[in-house]
Amino acid sequence: MRAIFITARTSSSRLPGKCLMEVAHRTTAIEFLIKRLSYKGYYLVLCTSDSEKDDKLADVGRKAGVSVFRGSEDDKLKRWLDCAKYYNAEFFVTADGDDLFVEPELIEMAFNQYRNHWHGFINCPNTPSGSFSWGIETRALQRVYDKHVLTSGMNTEMGWSWFDDVHEIDNIPEEFLRKDVRMTLDYDEDLDFFKRVIADIGNASLRDILALVDRYPDIKEINIGRETDWKTNQNNLVKDIQ
């Protein structure tokens, strides 16, 4: 089973309810992402929390035709682990609900790499923020969870920083090796970026998106200034769990 866990909650300190914000006419961010991944034959699971705050998000997922798993609100590693066990997924790829332009080509490469020779965790750090999240082997996740999660209800939003046995996707297309484009939804400027790109070319491939921003450089300037803020916030959250 080629499982993708679309990981999302409505609680966000920087842009509350961002997954349910419209990014196109009558289309929310989470609906856009589900549609982006639906045509590839993946088994999609909206992996959200069991908090009543995420009831509406769960309803949107069901109406969009994907499975919905509800688990720990703060402990993302436990939510992933429980979801993987529930669906008997030995390996899965995560797609964060705020990464609307996550690239199916990179996801497919991760699945192929796992099938052929790889175990543990896989990432893709040298592509635009938001183009890929993680590929995770369930037994490796269990090992990290058992080692690090010590208290019930612990916030592991940044628990990926504990992952060991980490590999990168092999043979990433050279045109994807870009850090001058930001494609994750955390700030108002990010929302403006997504709306602009989607209005211009719809639910396009990463190649087409990069071609667009190269043709119209003002598009990437909408939100690239927020990348430093985002990285600083990520680093501070990592420090909180160390």
Which tens digit of pLDDT belongs to each residue from 79-127? 999 999 999 999 999 999 999 999 999 999 999 999 887 778 999 999 9
Handedness of CA 226, 227, 229, 234 (dihedral sign): positive
pLDDT in tens, 9-65: 998 767 889 999 999 999 999 999 999 999 778 999 999 999 999 999 999 999 999
Write down the domain spans for the chain: 3-237
pTM: 0.92
Say how far apart CA 180 and CA 18 lie, in whole Å.
Answer: 23
CA distance from start to end of the chain: 34
Tell me, what amino acid is at 98? D
Three-state DSSP class for residue 5:
strand
Say how far apart CA 77 and CA 168 lie, in whole Å.
Answer: 20
Say how far apart CA 70 and CA 239 lie, in whole Å.
Answer: 27
Instruction: Give the CA dihedral 233, 235, 237, 240, nearest 10 degrees.
Output: -140
- Architecture of the domain defined by 3-237: Alpha-Beta Complex (3.90)
Q: Give kind and range of the element (H or E) at residue 228.
A: helix 227-240
Residue 156: pLDDT band (50, 70, 90) is: low
Say how far apart CA 29 and CA 20 lie, in whole Å.
Answer: 6
pLDDT in tens, 170-205: 999 999 999 999 999 999 999 999 999 999 999 999
Q: Which residue has the higher pLDDT, 149 or 192?
A: 192
- Contact partners, residue 75, CB within 8 Å, separation at least 6: 149, 153, 154, 155, 156
